[in-house]
Amino acid sequence: MNKEEIPQIVKDFAKSHEMYRPLEYKGKYQGKDVYCESPLVDKDGCIFPTGLPQYILQDKDGTLSYIFGLSALDLIGNIK
């Protein structure tokens, strides 16, 4: 799968969890594809802080999981 193209099912799942910014593919975590919202960036390229991260994980069978808050912080250094 081309990771530049976010699957529609992932986009729909994100909206159901109030994730409205564009999504980006971040890598793999325990064999699952990991997606998150693109950061908010100002005209000078500075990233705005937006709180704790939110991730969507997709299993090989297509099962989706929503990870947020402190659990999402644990993923940051483990996404490959």
For residue 3, the model assigns a pLDDT of 57
Both structure tokens of 21: 């910014």
For residue 40, what pLDDT band results from cuts at 50, 70 and 90? Answer: confident
Query: Maximum distance among all alpha carbons in the chain?
Result: 40
Closest by CA to 37, choosing from 49, 51, 52, 20, is: 20
Domain span at 15: 8-78
For residue 1, the model assigns a pLDDT of 47
In-domain check, residue 18? yes
Q: How many domains, the chain? A: 1
More confident residue, 49 or 40: 40
For residue 42, the model assigns a pLDDT of 87
76 backbone dihedrals φ, ψ, rounded to 5°: -50, -50
For residue 53, the model assigns a pLDDT of 86
| Residue 27 predicted with pLDDT over 70 | yes
pTM of structure: 0.84
In-domain check, residue 1? no
